[in-house]
Amino acid sequence: MRVFFDPAQRLHAPVAELYGGQLIDPFESPQRADRILDAVSHLGTASEPRDFGREALTRVHAPDFVAFLEECWEAWAAEGFAGDAMTAAMPPDRREAHCPSHIEGRLGYFAFSGESAITSTTFKAARASANTALAAAEAVAQGAKSAFALCRPPGHHCMHAQFGGYCYLNNAALAAQAMRDSGAAQVAILDIDFHHGNGTQDIFYDRADVLFCSIHGDPDRAYPFYLGYSEEVGRGAGHGFNHNFPLPEATAFAAWLEAFEAAAGHISRFGAEALVVSLGVDIYESDPQSFFRISAPNLFEIGRRIAQFSMPTVFVMEGGYANDELGANVARVLTGFTG
Ligand SMILES: [Zn+2]
């Protein structure tokens, strides 16, 4: 398995995250990447990705959104604000909303959720994360059987034109689009992060060429709350190509596997030529954000089941916040996959 990592991803290190009414140390920290990097060293030395350019980003993101991410910090600092760029301002209805020129208003316009800050180096780190996913997709398109993109900040919450949930660019969507652009007629995305991949769903919701399946904590009780329900099945040409499997609190592995097998059925029938896995290990039972009962050995079994698709596979790192076990948990899934 090829492994990709860009050290510039460490540059994104906000001072705080808004959680439970407090500004706390962010769950999503640069140390996560180092813990994972250490734990997957047995798979091979990580390669640094090349720069795929801004054009690659606008294959799945709105150009004005990418421009906002690039310009945000400078405009925020110019306004004289003392901290990282965060706002509580959100449009009441984005479909009707005017995008203002003031950076505080723009920040809310391009966010769907207010917990995640933008710093002077966030865009640089997010681009490095995107390049990491694109390099993994490129390696698989060029013949590698599988690749692991050690991405952070993560990506699956980031929508076509809105960031949030620690995600600034959608790495998995970029990888899937890159596979399409390099010749795969159909690509499947399997999102096993504890949280629904609302951003990936949003990006491919109208499309029949990219199948999206997500297994996650019921959004009635878990972030991102407003999307991820089973009745969201795609729209227009994309109708029938989006499948959500929301699972209740205290879901045990047997029930999780039932959802996995249902998703696997959709993926097999779809006839994908390549698979992108949004790999979040925050499904782990001791993760501070999880309410599933999924053990460390279960993670190995998940990797083994993913290998049974026998498809060219790109793993894209998403969440996972049980820091002491984080690296080992990622290695468990990948080792289960490689056998
Ligand atoms: Zn997550």
194 CA to middle of ligand 1, Å? 5
Reported pTM: 0.98
Residue 305 lies in a domain: yes
Kindly list the averaged pLDDT for each block of 10 residues, start to end, along the chain of length 339.
98 95 95 98 95 97 98 97 92 89 97 95 98 98 98 98 98 98 98 98 98 98 98 98 98 98 98 98 98 98 98 98 97 97
Q: Is 320 part of a structural domain of the chain?
A: yes
The CA distance from 237 to 36, in Å, is 38
**Which candidate in 12, 61, 156, 157 is catalytic?**
157
Specify the pLDDT at position 49. Answer: 98
Structural contact between residues 36 and 150, judged by C-beta atoms closer than 8 angstroms? yes
Does the residue 135 lie in any domain?
Answer: yes
Q: Domain limits at 181?
A: 2-11+28-50+127-338
Whole-number Å distance, alpha carbon 196 to ligand 1 midpoint, is: 7
Asked if residue 140 is part of any domain, the answer here is yes
pLDDT score for 93: 87
* CA distances, 257 to each of 140, 201, 302 (Å): 27, 21, 8
Number of domains, the chain:
1
- Find the radius of gyration of the CA atoms of the chain: 18
Taking the centre of ligand 1 as the mean of its atom positions, its distance from the CA of residue 287, in whole angstroms, is 10
pLDDT for the residue numbered 160: 98
Give domain status of residue 119, yes or no.
no
What is the layout of strands, in order, in the sheet containing 210-217? 2-4, 146-149, 313-317, 274-279, 187-191, 210-217, 242-247
Distance 302 CA to ligand 1 centre (A): 16
Q: Is 157 a catalytic residue?
A: yes
What does residue 246 show for φ and ψ, rounded to 5 degrees?
Answer: -75, 130
Contact present, 289 and 27 (Cβ < 8 Å): yes
Q: Is residue 324 part of a domain?
A: yes
Q: What CATH code is carried by the domain that includes residue 207?
A: 3.40.800.20
Is residue 230 domain-resident?
Answer: yes
DSSP for 39-94, please give it.
HTGGG-PPBPPPP-HHHHHTTTS-HHHHHHHHHHHHHHHHTT--SSB------S-G
148 domain residue, yes or no? yes
